[in-house]
Amino acid sequence: MAFGRFARIALLGAVLCAAPARAEIAEFYGIWTNAMPDASGISRIVIAPGEGGRASIHLFGRCEPVACDWGTQQARTYADNPGSSEVHSLAAEFDTGGAHRRIVLHIGVGHALRFEEQTDFTDGSARSNYATVGGLAYAGDWDSATRVAAVTAPGAAPAPPQVTTGGSATDSSFVGLGPAVASGYTPAAGEDCRPFNPDQVRVGVVDGQWRLGDFTTRLVSFGPRQAEARAAMAILGYYHLDEQCFVGRTTMVYWKRAGQIPSPGMKGDDCTALDPVAAKVIEADGNWRVVSGGTTLLEYNDKTDAQRALSVIQTYRLNRQCFFSRAESGAQYWLAR
């Protein structure tokens, strides 16, 4: 047992201390999330093209109820020798209120980022300066912006998905993407969402049913279908999903990562294609249906809920309704253009 523990520690050390990969600077661009509650305090990093072919680093810390915006700095780029043009790492420094942080970023294995952080406290406290390392998972393109779905009045057309920026970090409920509010919307007013830690998601039997959930939240039930529950867990991991949202709870269930709906499809997805522009709400048999072309996507007995679902589809430009299981109500997810 002692040897096994030593082997695991040695393996972790080997991964964290492995030589960083050399890369083009564009490989660093993106939204990168930190799912681990480590000492770094880093929640997400957004790396974008900067002036003169350089990059900017936008750093967000873990705060409640939204992320702390620690600001944007132009990155310094480093090669592994004076004659090389390949990017070995990016670095930047941030003053984050009572602390000075030095961040070094490397491309990691499996399209991930590895970070090294040194924190010096500047508030005169007795806390010790410290250094830490960790990993960041890719969560989206750098130029993606949050689109907030609104509650639209019955019969009203959804607001266009134009995004304006500005204001403080409290303008947005989407952790890590900073202040981004769709014009004319109350931020997140039309969304019923609950975040979860994807690293804590497990499959297990609860009350005689196979369920998917983290330590505090039951996410999806699959009845007696163990294989479907395990397949759903793999899908959540593939898309790095970290937030579950509802319109009518079990009628429309959609999932996000870093405040966005995923776009690229996973091989083997069970999906029905739709045109979000052509989607509309119609009345049929006393109920309200969200349809696209000749396909009924969702059905509600409340027109307002149907309009909210249409707003989500058109705001996020959802073009595929996908299913973890067709046998269970609410066992679905959506993908975007």
CATH number at residue 107: 2.40.128
CA 303 centroid distance within chain:
30
Angle at 188 between CA 182 and CA 194, to 5 degrees: 140
Tokens found for residue 30: 């993106």
The answer on 206 and 136 residing in a single domain is no
Q: Which amino acid is at 84?
A: S
Same domain (yes/no): 30, 104: yes
Give the domain-ending residue among 140, 159, 183.
140
Residue 153 covered by a domain: no
Q: Please give the residue that has the higher pLDDT: either 160 or 256.
A: 256
Which of 98, 124, 140 is the endpoint of a domain? 140
Shared-domain flag, residues 198 and 324? yes
Residue 128 has pLDDT above 60, yes or no: yes
C-alpha closest to that of 76 among 95, 50, 107: 50
Question: Do 195 and 314 sit in the same domain of this protein?
Answer: yes
pTM, rounded to two decimals: 0.49
**Residue 30 belongs to domain spanning:** 12-140
Q: Indicate whether 310 belongs to any domain.
A: yes
| Higher per-residue confidence, 22 vs 262 | 262
Domain boundary pick from 71, 106, 140: 140
User: What percent of the chain has a predicted confidence (pLDDT) above 70?
Assistant: 74
pLDDT of residue 283: 93
Residues 83 and 213 in one domain: no
- If asked whether residues 105 and 234 sit together in one domain, one would say no
Residue 120 lies in a domain: yes
pLDDT at 33: 79
Across 14-18, 142-146, 266-270, 277-281, least confident range: 14-18
* Residue 332: predicted pLDDT: 93
Residue 166 within any structural domain of the chain: no
Q: Which residue has the higher pLDDT, 24 or 188?
A: 24
Question: Rounded to an integer, what distance in angstroms lies between the CA atom of residue 232 and that of residue 327?
Answer: 13
* 201 found inside a domain: yes
Tens of pLDDT, residue by residue over 10-38, are 333 433 344 444 468 888 888 787 767 67
Average pLDDT rounded to a whole number, residues 189-203: 75
For residue 60, the Cα-to-chain-centroid distance in whole angstroms is 14
Look at the chain and report how many structural domains it folds into. 2
217 shares a domain with 330 = yes
Picking from 303, 240, 235, the residue whose alpha carbon sits closest to that of residue 270 is 235
Regarding whether 135 and 75 lie in a shared domain, the answer is yes
**Which tokens is 331 given?**
């066992």
Please tell me whether residues 210 and 331 are part of one structural domain.
Answer: yes
The mean predicted confidence, pLDDT, of the chain is 75
Per residue in 57-108, pLDDT (tens digit) is 988 887 765 567 888 899 999 988 888 888 889 999 999 888 999 999 998 7
* Residue 29 maps to a domain: yes
Same domain flag for 81 and 216: no
Instruction: Provide the pLDDT confidence category of residue 148 given band limits of 50, 70 and 90.
Output: very low
**Distant-in-sequence, close-in-space partners of 258: CB < 8 Å, separation ≥ 6:** 31, 33, 44, 139, 140, 174, 175, 176, 177, 240, 242
Buried b (16+ CB within 10 A) or exposed e, 150-165: bbbeeeeebbebeeee
Q: Which of 113, 116, 121 is nearest to 95 (CA)?
A: 121
